[in-house]
Amino acid sequence: MGSTLKTRAAERAPLDGLWRCGREFLGCELAILGGAMTWVSERNLVAALSNAGAFGVIACGAMQPDQLEAEIAATQELTDRPFGVNLILMHPVLDELIAVCAARQVSHVFLAGGLPKRQAVAQVRDSGAKVAAFAPSLSIAKKFVRSGIDAIVIEGMEAGGHTGPVSTSVLAQEILPHVREVPVFVAGGIGRGDAMAAYLEMGAAGCQMGTRFVCTHESIAHPNFKAAFIRAAARDARLSVQLDPEFPVIPVRALANAATQRFMEAQRDVIARYRGGAIEQTAAQLEIEHFWAGALRRAVVDGDVETGSLMAGQSVGLVNAECSVAEVLDELIGQALTHLDQARRAGEQRDERAVS
């Protein structure tokens, strides 16, 4: 199966030098991870990304083991390239999901939504797969390195879906200069190749992007969902509000609509039952997750963009039309190479002025 920009492989040399360790870790030509988006990052988009030379990642979300097994098998029918699986740590049958990945010989597992326990990390590595985790700070990134994590993703608050409180640019400045032992991928609000190249120059092994791939031909997202993305500006992708600091809810970034208000109501109901002793905190947080999974399905699959969840990163403002995965990657690589060439020329001019 072919890859994007195959005829321009020699031109990619400056870029390949920057993200060599990312390419080697992923086993692909382009160190670009597809962000794991529930209902969107399924077999078709994942296979399309991997076939085009990037790296697709299945979003397991709330899938049960048999559903995940079927999705992995279907993806393997569509590509012979490496791809990964993103697992949510709070999933009640995480061990079984890891076992499914092992049985299907998935090469990379991404553990998201918290700090993975050593047992989970060991279970993935014992299967022969590489394990990556999401670090929200330098101290946690260093802890991951000590615990045997093979790669780290740092995701800023500009990202769509569940996100943290710190911007991508700040996380990159905090972590990239100090973590060299393992590949570090940068995510959150990245929508252009020149921005991607800038993070590579700072020491990133590659970048993760989700929002840019929603409006591709290979994405199964409903036409209404894609149209909402194309119409949206960056400021339309807003963070959800946490009602009670005693009941932490990971913020979710999505295009504002009626689902935003429904989430507030859902939180009020869950908090009331939690404080009344009717539900434990872990179960309550899972219920919130199920709210988003259901609301997201209504939007992505059914096209209900009024009451469904339109999870999107702030880079949604850079999505202007529907095109193929290969076209998006071509654009990103072209922008990155232009950025690097301009930087090289500027450096040469500075050297000439210094000599003269």
Q: Measuring CA to CA, which residue among 216, 160, 135, 136 is closest to residue 37?
A: 160
CATH of domain 15-221: 3.20.20.70
Q: From CA 292, how far away is CA 305, in angstroms rounded?
A: 13
Contact 110/133 with Cβ under 8 angstroms?
yes
pLDDT in tens, 44-78: 999 999 999 999 999 999 899 999 999 999 999 99
> Under 8 Å CB-to-CB from 69, ≥6 apart: which residues?
100, 103, 104
Residue 110: strand pairing partners: 86, 132
Give the pLDDT band of residue 35 (cuts 50, 70, 90): very high
- Residue-by-residue DSSP string for 238-307: EEPPPS-TTS----EEEE-SHHHHHHHHHHHHHHHHHHTTSS-HHHHHHHHHHHHHHHHHHHHTT--TTT
Q: Report the pLDDT value the prediction gives residue 247, as an integer from 0 to 100.
A: 65
117 vs 2: which has the higher pLDDT: 117
Q: Report the pLDDT value the prediction gives residue 244, as an integer from 0 to 100.
A: 72
Regarding beta strands 252-255 and 310-311, do their DSSP bridges make them parallel or antiparallel, or are they unpaired?
antiparallel
Q: Report the pLDDT value the prediction gives residue 248, as an integer from 0 to 100.
A: 63
> Under 8 Å CB-to-CB from 281, ≥6 apart: which residues?
247, 274
Q: Which residue's structure tokens are 């009941």?
A: 247
pLDDT in tens, 294-347: 889 999 999 999 999 999 999 999 999 999 999 999 999 999 999 999 988 887
**Would you give the distance in Å from CA 17 to the centre of its chain?**
23
Worst-scoring range by mean pLDDT, 1-10, 99-108, 292-301, 304-313? 1-10
Q: What angle do CA 136, 300, 28 make, to 5 degrees?
A: 55
Q: Which own/partner contact pairs does 172-176 have at CB distance under 8 Å and 24+ positions apart?
A: 172/199, 172/202, 172/204, 173/202, 174/137, 174/138, 175/135, 175/137, 175/138, 175/141, 176/202, 176/203, 176/204
Q: Which residue's structure tokens are 């500006």?
A: 233
Give the pLDDT band of residue 254 (cuts 50, 70, 90): very high
Q: From CA 32, how far away is CA 207, in angstroms rounded?
A: 5
> Under 8 Å CB-to-CB from 351, ≥6 apart: which residues?
none
Q: Report the pLDDT value the prediction gives residue 251, as an integer from 0 to 100.
A: 79
Q: Please provide the average confidence, as pLDDT, over all residues in the chain.
A: 92
Q: Report the pLDDT value the prediction gives residue 7, as an integer from 0 to 100.
A: 41
CATH 3.20.20.70: which residues of the chain? 15-221
Q: Any idea what DSSP says for residue 35? A: P
Q: Quote the tokens at residue 81.
A: 């390239």
Give the pLDDT band of residue 356 (cuts 50, 70, 90): low
Q: Report the pLDDT value the prediction gives residue 1, as an integer from 0 to 100.
A: 43
3-state secondary structure of 74: helix
Q: Report the pLDDT value the prediction gives residue 8, as an integer from 0 to 100.
A: 65
CB atoms within 10 A of CB 315: 22
